[in-house]
């Protein structure tokens, strides 16, 4: 049987996001996946409370951090990858197709400095099929676009970190209507994930607690095949794309999207301070349709 990591999830109540510490129990080496940087919209203030909780957990468990990773550029929360990479002295990484997402948003924000060829925001950009190690555990990178053009899955032993492809079975699948998203690509990415062994543990990037239940973020391939509400009818790609587009048309933009992506496409770093020492974010006016009703989460 494939040896698996120990996984500890950190749930962010404000955004419904889940960050992970993934550790090799034999070597005590670990990686951090999708850490959240706090952001208060009213004051435009950032905070590192959840990231510091992660760092304290790692210290208390006697772990050594080898990587701080993102699965994709998040639209609903700011990334703490840069903060934790600096604090813990660990390299950072994301999928190589982040350059395509940078290019899209450099135009939307009119930020010429946010160029696709600028790889300095991360220490490593991963391609499909890349392999690296966390202690004695091998990590395989699976390119899984659809929610964004850059999304990747990290397969670590018997655990797959599937970001915003599959949610818990009672919540379905992720939206695919952001710039660079593609519902057909999302369907094909999901099928690749569901082709993994049925006992593979799947860890999702969000949980919005449908019906008011407690937050959950772990399922298996077998559970998703049998119970996912967006997949269980077996309608195939054409039907999935039709239903996904129909659903996405009803969803408002995430409340933090326009702020978060300016940070996340810089590897989790704030824009360079101006002459007065303050960093500023830009808001593109009239580039998106008004939201029908604002939601705090990157709703499915």
> How many CA atoms does the CB half-sphere of 272 hold within 13 Å?
6
Give residue 151's pLDDT.
97
What confidence score (pLDDT) does residue 3 get? 74
Whose CA is closest to 265, among 107, 105, 157, 117? 105
Highest mean pLDDT among 108-117, 127-136, 285-294: 127-136
Number of neighbours of residue 125 by Cβ within 10 angstroms: 17
Can you tell me the distance from the alpha carbon of 199 to that of 157, in angstroms, rounded to the nearest whole number?
A: 11
pLDDT in tens, 9-24: 999 999 999 999 999 9
Tokens standing for residue 194: 């569901």
The sign one gets for the Cα dihedral 42, 43, 44, 46 is negative
Q: Which domains does the chain have, with CATH numbers?
A: 6-259 (3.60.15.10)
Q: How far is CA 292 from CA 196, 244, 289, in A?
A: 38, 18, 9
d(Cα 68, Cα 90) in Å, to the nearest integer? 6
The pLDDT tens digits for 231-245 are: 987 789 999 999 999
In angstroms, the CA 10 to CA 6 distance is: 14
Q: For the chain, report the end-to-end CA distance as a whole number of angstroms.
A: 34
| Residue 55 near residue 88 (C-beta atoms within 8 A) | yes
pLDDT at 172 over 70: yes
pLDDT tens per residue, range 277-298: 999 999 999 988 775 444 544 4
**What's phi and psi for 204, nearest 5 deg?**
-90, 160
Backbone angles phi, psi at 110, to 5 degrees: 50, 60
pTM: 0.94
184 contacts 238 by C-beta, under 8 angstroms: no
What rounded mean pLDDT belongs to the chain?
Answer: 93
């Amino acid at each position: 049987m494939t040896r698996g990591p120990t996984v500890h999830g950190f749930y962010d109540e404000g955004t419904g996001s889940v960050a992970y510490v993934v550790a090799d129990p034999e070597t005590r080496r670990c990686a951090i996946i999708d850490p959240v940087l706090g952001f208060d919209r009213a004051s435009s203030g950032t905070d590192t409370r959840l990231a510091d909780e992660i760092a304290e957990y790692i210290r208390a468990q006697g772990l050594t951090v080898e990587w701080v990773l993102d699965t994709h550029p998040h639209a609903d929360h700011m990334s703490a990858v840069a903060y934790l990479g600096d604090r813990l002295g660990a390299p950072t990484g994301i999928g190589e197709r982040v350059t395509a997402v940078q290019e899209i948003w450099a135009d939307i924000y009119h930020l010429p400095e946010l160029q696709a060829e600028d790889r300095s925001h991360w220490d490593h950009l991963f391609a499909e099929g890349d392999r690296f190690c966390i202690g004695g555990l091998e990590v395989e990178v699976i390119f899984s676009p659809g929610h964004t053009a850059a999304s990747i899955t990290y397969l670590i032993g018997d655990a797959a970190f599937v970001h915003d492809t599959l949610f818990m079975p009672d919540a379905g699948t992720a939206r695919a209507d952001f710039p660079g998203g593609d519902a057909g690509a999302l369907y094909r990415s999901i099928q690749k994930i569901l082709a993994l062994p049925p006992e593979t543990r799947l860890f999702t990037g969000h949980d919005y607690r449908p019906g008011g239940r407690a937050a959950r973020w772990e399922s298996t391939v077998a559970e998703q095949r049998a119970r996912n509400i967006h997949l269980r009818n077996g309608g195939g790609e054409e039907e999935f794309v039709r239903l996904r587009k129909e659903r996405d048309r009803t969803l408002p933009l995430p409340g933090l999207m326009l702020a978060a992506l300016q940070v996340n496409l810089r590897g989790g770093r704030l824009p360079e301070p101006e002459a007065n020492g303050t960093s500023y974010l830009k808001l593109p006016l009239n580039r998106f349709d008004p939201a029908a009703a604002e939601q705090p989460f990157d709703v499915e």
